[in-house]
Amino acid sequence: MTATKRKNDGLLKQLPSVRGIYEQYADLAKLSWFRVGGPAEVLFVPADAEDLSSFLKSKPRDVPTTIIGLTSNLLIRDGGIPGVVIRLSRAFNSVELDGVEVRCGANAVDANVSMIAKNAGIQGLEFLTGIPGTIGGALRMNAGAFGRETQDILINATSVDGKGDTRRLSREDMGFGYRHCNIPSDWVFTGATFRGTCGDPDKITLRMREIRAQREENQPVQSHTGGSTFANPRTEKAWRLIESARCRGLRKGGAMVSTKHCNFLVNTGTATAADLEDLGEDVRRQVQEASGITLDWEIQRVGVRTENPQALAHMGAIET
């Protein structure tokens, strides 16, 4: 089911003037790590934090917003995303150092931040090299790997709330939990300050190489995939439950449970977002039947399925 004809361009006319870029019916599949998903009704790339704030202050209250980064932990459904999708620009890529503190924009890539810290002899941010995303996503998900989490190094974060007001947030304000924070979903993170410790650049380099090697050995990093599909239950590892339920290599359409690491879903080349989501639900069902444990999605699923014609009509699409 595809959307081939567009109608009702009214949303763009309702939006305020900006210095950044609007793109109507932007192809999000090409931005997605899974290489699936429908379009954004409107994609907005703000010129800077002031432009973002002005947009959020002036846009109609009933227009929904969705924030995306590198999409490494996101599954965009085939019907696309209604409303405005916000993706930060290079203006949010900055990384600045002050002693052992690292101040960075929310669009800075995690691995780049860890590399800059390493070059300055700042220890403690090595785990970021194993997280395939941006700082904004790390804040939103309390991203972690190899024994450390974002909350372990955060001093404070900045965000623009749903009304366009700038907020400065302490680590306590974030309400961090396992792969979670309590900040409202319509707030857009714009930056963060982290604290490391003084370290030996050679030892930091060795640790980062170990992390990259472990990730490449154990995860399907060369495939069209995302991050870990399911959160680890409190007393178990998700991959072990999936393995025990005999889901390794399980398929649905063009989607497959990775044979390298069974807590990853893979687009083998022809998958739709529905294939991936339905496969994930099959895995959850089989794990529940085998162990009595219900896995929670860690990957965020956004947008609408094409089975919902009303949602497609809202986006100005006519189905064929």
Active site amino acids: 179, 228, 298
C-beta of residue 141 within 8 angstroms of C-beta of residue 73: yes
In a 3-state reduction of DSSP, which class is residue 226?
Answer: coil
DSSP 180: B
C-beta of residue 79 within 8 angstroms of C-beta of residue 97: no
Structure tokens at 53: 């704030």
How many Å apart are CA 12 and CA 251, to the nearest integer? 40
How many Å apart are CA 68 and CA 30, to the nearest integer? 13
Overall size of the chain counted in residues: 320
DSSP 133: S
**b/e map 166-177, b = 16+ CB within 10 Å:** eeebeeeebebe
Residues 6+ apart with CB under 8 A from 260: 218, 219, 220
